[in-house]
Amino acid sequence: MNGYGGKILRVNLSKNSTASKPLDLEFAKAWLGGRGFVAKILYDEVKPGTEPFGENNKVVIAAGPLSGVFLPAGAKTTFASKSPATGGYGDSNMGGHFAPEMKYAGYDVIIIEGIASKPKYLFIEDDRVEIRDAEKYWRKGSIDAEEMLKKDLGEDFQIAVIGPGGENKVKFACISHDFGRQAGRTGIGAVLGSKNLKAIAVKGTKAIPLADRKQVLKVGKEMFMKCFGHSALDEWQECGTSGVVNWVNEIKAFPTRNFQEEYSKDHKKLCGEIMRHLIVTSDKACFGCPMACGKYSHTRKVPGYKHDIRIEGPEYETIALCGANCGFSDIRDVAYANWLCDQLGLDTISTGNIIAFVMECFEKKLLTEKDAGQKISFGDIDSFEYLAKKIASQEGIGKILAQGSRAAAKIIGKNSEKLAMQIKGLEISGYSFRNALAMALAYGTCDVGAHHNRAWAITYDIEVGRKKLKGKPEKVIFLQHARPMFDMLGVCRLQWVELGLDLEYYPRILKAVTGFDYSLEDLLKISEKVWNLTRMFWVREINDGVADLSPRSYDFPPERFYEGGILNKKIYTRLLNRYYRLRGWSKFGIPTKKKLKELGLKT
């Protein structure tokens, strides 16, 4: 099938079996790929009430029709599972080279089912698929395990791997790839850990068939030339995402000391420019990407600094959450915190949030040395290291923290819930929204919990004015369709967001690659369909599990976010009501029958 690897691979770890079947053309047309595929398969195959760590939960992995094809950054792989962090729909995507390699091996989707009796890894080399023993890689850090696997199998293999955090079912454990790319959010690494699956290694030598090769070359070239000609390309190549630190700080959205403040006076010690100067050794790009926003760094042992590590990053989110939010003022400390999280297999956004939460609990005397086993304080990298290791091994206080900040605050009590920066059980990304109403709505309604990537609406708050309400729900909805559209296509969105690559290019290149004749409007409609389906996943879970809790009450951000800002419950409710109306959802945030019918959804 043009544009696709052509097969779905199903792996049952309980039965130690693998089977592949051809990808159905109608299925591909209806759900496109990536996020569309994983959401549909998860909705159909993971029944309500399924235990996230139980045998019946699944991990679905998908590439998109534009992954591995000639255009800028066709690099995205999406992972989905019922999230142990939130109990609802969870997906997370990563760049790198995994999705292209899956397709070169002939697979668009990999479905992981069951639980292996012993540590295993999945080996895929074109049509050869094996569930192999992973005893020697188990308990190894993500970076170390990937290095060992590449040494054993060959550098050509692309590897997705979990660390000790995933093995020990930390609810915010991530999946790592290519020495620094992560599918970090919603704890899918822990689901792989619960299945005893350490890694997936894939290598493919096949071609992706194209509907119109000449047209792919023509449109692809246009897209590349457009990127090359953009004035922001140099800055992105120079600093990557760390380049936005100063801007976010300037607009007072930079999480500092567990979101107590939104401005770090140390931002110049944490920004991309200083990072480039002090620790970056080379640039690291995802497949086919001219921006190369990945930065590879090396901190050296010098008098007064003790860690010698090599790490991809830190990225902006890590600098925000594992940096200023934990009170750090040295980019090398952030790099070390990043390295610890990567080795341990922990999501840096959630981990930075939870450790900052503990730091504030200490500051407010809600936790003591006796509770934690040692003194914990803001700005102390040894505190970070101590807690990260405790979390990954689920020892001592780590056992509580490994449940995520919502559950941990409940156990700690003493009103500490107010300090836990999370929505729906997922810790918030690196943008404070007390003074950014569109961003508040984007976080509150995001379909995996408080994550920025579905609708990075804060730029719109700045553009039209923070206090303005008009137009913001509309903008958030547009972004919630446009940005996940890229995750369906298996391509990075940054070329559109940052280099102004017009959205109209994507239906054009999609047609050249697959032959599908979709307009941009059609693609956004499919994205809306997926958004409604993931919403129905939540509705189904809540109706089954917590009957008295309406989805709407899940959507409110915690009180902490209101303190001292322009956001308050009244304004938020107004935004939310309008958002629900515009979406064609009930006042409780449930998609109406009419809406589902319009989208062609049978639920």
Partner 1 sequence: MKEVRSPGEIGLLKIDKGVEMKISINDKFCSGCRICELICALTHQKENNPKKAFIKIHGNFPNPGGYTIEISEGCKGCGQCVRFCAMNALIEVKK
Residue ranges in contact with partner 1 by CB under 8 A: 68-70, 97, 100, 104, 143, 146-147, 155, 178-179, 204-210, 213, 216-217, 224, 227-228, 233, 237, 281-292, 294, 296, 298, 310
For the bound state, the minimum distance from the C-beta of residue 169 to partner 1, rounded and expressed in Å, comes to 26
**Please, what sign has the CA dihedral across residues 111, 117, 121, 124?**
negative
For the bound state, the minimum distance from the C-beta of residue 485 to partner 1, rounded and expressed in Å, comes to 22
For the bound state, the minimum distance from the C-beta of residue 458 to partner 1, rounded and expressed in Å, comes to 28
In angstroms, rounded to a whole number, what is the distance separating the alpha carbons of residues 87 and 422? 14
In angstroms, rounded to a whole number, what is the distance separating the alpha carbons of residues 146 and 149? 5
For the bound state, the minimum distance from the C-beta of residue 224 to partner 1, rounded and expressed in Å, comes to 6
What is the DSSP pairing of strand 7-12 with strand 107-113?
parallel
Give the residue carrying structure tokens 């692809």: 220
Which of 5, 425 has the CB closer to partner 1? 5
**Which own/partner pairs from 142-151 qualify as long-range (CB within 8 Å, at least 24 positions apart)?**
142/176, 142/342, 142/343, 142/344, 142/345, 143/176, 143/179, 143/339, 143/342, 143/343, 144/343, 145/198, 145/199, 146/176, 146/177, 146/178, 146/179, 146/199, 147/179, 149/121, 149/199, 149/201
For the bound state, the minimum distance from the C-beta of residue 150 to partner 1, rounded and expressed in Å, comes to 8
CB neighbours of residue 118 within 10 Å: 10
Which of 3, 88 has the CB closer to partner 1? 3
Which of 69, 381 has the CB closer to partner 1? 69
Which of 400, 512 has the CB closer to partner 1? 512
Is 20:129 a contact under the CB 8 Å cutoff?
yes
For the bound state, the minimum distance from the C-beta of residue 31 to partner 1, rounded and expressed in Å, comes to 22
Which of 253, 512 has the CB closer to partner 1? 512
Which of 217, 549 has the CB closer to partner 1? 217
Which of 237, 592 has the CB closer to partner 1? 237
Which are the contacts of 71, defined by CB distance < 8 A and separation ≥ 6? 216, 219, 220, 223, 224, 288, 491, 509
Burial class (CB in 10 A: 0-12, 13-18, 19+), 386: buried
Q: What are phi and psi of 432, to 5 degrees?
A: -75, 145
Which are the contacts of 488, defined by CB distance < 8 A and separation ≥ 6? 31, 32, 33, 34, 35, 36, 64, 523, 526, 527, 530
Is 132:120 a contact under the CB 8 Å cutoff?
yes
Which of 284, 390 has the CB closer to partner 1? 284
Is 163:86 a contact under the CB 8 Å cutoff?
no
Which of 181, 454 has the CB closer to partner 1? 181
Which of 206, 468 has the CB closer to partner 1? 206
In angstroms, rounded to a whole number, what is the distance separating the alpha carbons of residues 253 and 249? 6
For the bound state, the minimum distance from the C-beta of residue 491 to partner 1, rounded and expressed in Å, comes to 13
For the bound state, the minimum distance from the C-beta of residue 4 to partner 1, rounded and expressed in Å, comes to 12
> Which DSSP letter does residue 244 get?
G
In 302-347, which ranges are continuous DSSP H helix? Answer: 316-321, 331-344
CB neighbours of residue 152 within 10 Å: 11
Is 528:481 a contact under the CB 8 Å cutoff?
yes
Which of 87, 345 has the CB closer to partner 1? 345
For the bound state, the minimum distance from the C-beta of residue 279 to partner 1, rounded and expressed in Å, comes to 11
In angstroms, rounded to a whole number, what is the distance separating the alpha carbons of residues 271 and 323? 10
Is 312:294 a contact under the CB 8 Å cutoff?
yes
For the bound state, the minimum distance from the C-beta of residue 291 to partner 1, rounded and expressed in Å, comes to 8
Which of 5, 591 has the CB closer to partner 1? 5
For the bound state, the minimum distance from the C-beta of residue 205 to partner 1, rounded and expressed in Å, comes to 5
Bridge partners of residue 161, in order along the sequence? 176, 199
For the bound state, the minimum distance from the C-beta of residue 3 to partner 1, rounded and expressed in Å, comes to 9
Burial class (CB in 10 A: 0-12, 13-18, 19+), 300: exposed
For the bound state, the minimum distance from the C-beta of residue 577 to partner 1, rounded and expressed in Å, comes to 45
In angstroms, rounded to a whole number, what is the distance separating the alpha carbons of residues 53 and 169? 8
Q: Which two tokens stand for residue 45?
A: 């195959």
Which of 13, 279 has the CB closer to partner 1? 279
Which of 73, 575 has the CB closer to partner 1? 73
For the bound state, the minimum distance from the C-beta of residue 229 to partner 1, rounded and expressed in Å, comes to 11
Q: What are phi and psi of 598, to 5 degrees?
A: -55, -35
